[in-house]
Amino acid sequence: MYGVSPENIIISGFPLPKENIGADKNILISDLARRVVELDPNEKYREHYQALLKGAIKAKPKNVVSPLILTYAVGGAGAQKETGALILDRLAPAIREGKVGLNLIAGNRDDVKKYFEEAIKESGLKINQGVKIIYDSDKIKSFRKFNDCLHDTDILWTKPSELSFYCALGLPIIMSSPVGSQEDFNREWLISVGAGVDSLDPEYVAQWLTDLLASGRLARAAVDGFLNAEQMGTYNIEKLIEKK
């Protein structure tokens, strides 16, 4: 459409962070093996898809008893930060009981960080006691902190922005309302590959999140994203550059 010659266009795949993948996907597979257990407390998914899991993950799921970690990411302009505060408030009892952990992604936006700090104070919780704010004033450092927190993340909640493609890391995506036509397309794509689930009313997240976990739906979304989305874009781009 823009006049670029077809021979100059190379499909690399999504350029996802190498620290979340590993050259032979060993990091990604280890994280996913742990995550599937957390997302499938009643073993509904694992009972029906044992053969698929053995073939796809090639790692024994780790029966680690730990809180379910939900990571909520606002948009780059701070969009939908109020939803993050509502999720925090509704999940506060489960956070206090150690059943759920919550990461609030503020990126490099100081205003969003302060907003979340106030929300945590109002909820009666304390930072780094079941709830964390992932933030750094330096944008590159904030990206690294975000990538690091994904190792322990079980569910990524975000609007279907560019973070949609992080489903390839075996992260089930709970989708807030799209903002813009490109996010409408991303939402359709996430649903088509089986990795995305539309958010229900955040007011009642404590109820419907429990139902999603009990059914194994989020475990399936995690594995579907891993199987159906491309992870190796960064490595592919490096190989192309080396050839140049």
Element spanning 205, H or E: helix 205-215
Alpha-carbon radius of gyration of the chain:
18
Residue matched to tokens 């796809």:
56
Q: What are phi and psi of 133, to 5 degrees?
A: -105, 120
Q: 164: Cβ–Cβ under 8 A, 6 or more apart, which residues?
A: 158, 173, 186, 187, 189, 190, 196
- CB neighbours of residue 229 within 10 Å: 22
Q: Is the pLDDT of residue 79 over 70?
A: no
Coil, strand or helix at 196:
strand
pLDDT at 77 exceeding the cut of 90: no
pLDDT of 238 reads 94
Three-point CA angle 129, 118, 130, nearest 5°: 15
Q: Which of 53-62, 95-104, 166-175 has the lowest mean pLDDT?
A: 53-62
Structure tokens at 8: 């100059």
Q: What letter represents residue 216's amino acid?
A: G
Query: Side-chain half-sphere of 150: how many Cα atoms within 13 Å?
Result: 29
pLDDT in tens, 151-168: 999 999 999 999 999 999
Q: Please count the CA atoms within 13 angstroms of the CA of 225 that sit on its side-chain side.
A: 30
Mean pLDDT along residues 199-223: 96
Alpha-carbon gap, residue 102 to 145, rounded angstroms: 15
